[in-house]
Amino acid sequence: MSEEINYEDAKYQRFNDSLDEEGVVEIATIPFQRSRILFEMAVETYKDAFAEHAEQEFEELKQSAFDYYPSCIAYNFRLSEKGEGSSDPVRKLLHLKDTSESIVFVLYALVMGEVRNKLVNLKAAQIFVAHDTGGNPVYTNFNTDKLLSDALKQKIQNMKAIIGFAQTNALGFKSEEIGLGLLDDLLVLQSIRNDISHHAAPTREQAEEELSQVIPLFREMLTKTKFLENCKILRFESYTASCRCETFNGHSLNREYDNHTLSAPQCAYVLGLGQDQLFALWDSECFSLSPFLHFDKDATGHESYLCFFKGKKEGKFWYEPVKIRTEKPFDTLQARFDAEKGQLVALVVP
C-alpha cells in the first residue's frame, strides 16, 4: 500500500514535520524520524492521520481566508462555504468558480503592479503559447493584446512568464512568492471552468460531478495562497501621524479603515498615489495595483467593492465590481489608466 503515496512529496511535508516535532526515536542508538516509522510500519494509519491533519489545516486556512484575504476572494469563498446556497451544488460550484477567478485577478494586479513599480526591463520574458507537433513548447513575446487580455488563461500564462523570468534572473520580485505550482493549479481549474461554462444551466447531477473534480483541486490550490494573509489591499484616505487607509480585506464589504505606520519612502509614495487608486502593502513591499484593480462604493457609502479590470472596449477600461457584477467604466480616470498601461507596455513589450 505504501506505493500509493510518496512520503517525500511536498504535500506531506508539513504533516511529517508535525509528527517529528517531538524529536527522533532512538533504537539501539540509531535515530529514526517518527513520521518515517509511521509511514513504513502502518501506512494506512499514516494516511488516516494525514487526512485528519489536512482537514484541520484546511479549516484554519478557511477562517484565515474569510478574515484576511483580499475582499473579493474572501467574499466569494465565504459564500461557497457559509452562504445561503452553499448546500446547493449548482450555487456552490458557481461560488467556487468566482473565488478562483478572483484569485487570478488579484494575483495579476499584484504581479503587474510590482512590474510597474520596479521599472525592470522584462522584454525578454517569453509567454507559453502551445506545444508543437513534436510536443515541444512554443513561446512568444508579450504584446499589448496579451497584456490586456480578458481571458483568465492568458492572464495566468502572462504571470508564469514574468515570475519564471524573475526567478531565472534572480530579480528578487516579491511576486515570486506566488509560485508556478499555484499558477499551474489555476490553469487546471480554469480548464474545468471552461467545461462548466458549456452548461448554460447545469443540473444538480452535473454540478455534483463537477464538484467532485473541483473541490480537491481547489483545496490544493488554496493551500498555496497563504501568502495572501499578509497582503493588504488599501486605499489612502488621510494623513496625520500615520496613513489612514480604507481596507479591502476580509469577507465583509462594509467600509473599514485602519492606521498604518509606513517608512518615509512608502509614506511619500502612498501620498503621491492619492485617494483614487488602490495599492498593496505586502509585508515590506508597497505598490499601486492600478489599472488592474480599482474600487467602487454603494449608493449609501456603507460598502466598498473591489473592481476587476475586465477588458478595454470602446476605448475605455471596463471593470466589474464584486457582488454587483455589472461592468462599468470610470470615465474621469481613463487617461490615467491609459498612462499606466503605457508604462507596462514600455517594460514588457519588445
Q: What is the pLDDT of residue 195?
A: 61
CB atoms within 10 A of CB 48: 11
Which distant-in-sequence residues (6+ apart) come within 8 Å of 138 by Cβ? 128, 129, 130, 131, 132
CA–CA–CA angle 240, 241, 246 (5° rounding): 65
Closest CA to 109 of 336, 289, 345: 289
Return the pLDDT at 201: 66
Residue pair 161/174 in contact by the 8 Å Cβ criterion: no
Which segments in the chain show pLDDT lower than 50? 1-3
pLDDT score at 203: 81
| The pLDDT of residue 197 | 53
| Domain extent listing, the chain | 2-41, 72-229, 230-348
Residue with cell 446556497: 85
User: What's the pLDDT score for residue 217?
Assistant: 93
- Return the amino acid letter for 305: Y
> pLDDT tens digit string along 155-197?
999 999 999 999 999 999 999 999 999 999 999 999 887 665 5
Neighbours of 19 (CB within 10 A): 18
SS3 139: strand
**Which amino acid makes up residue 36?**
R
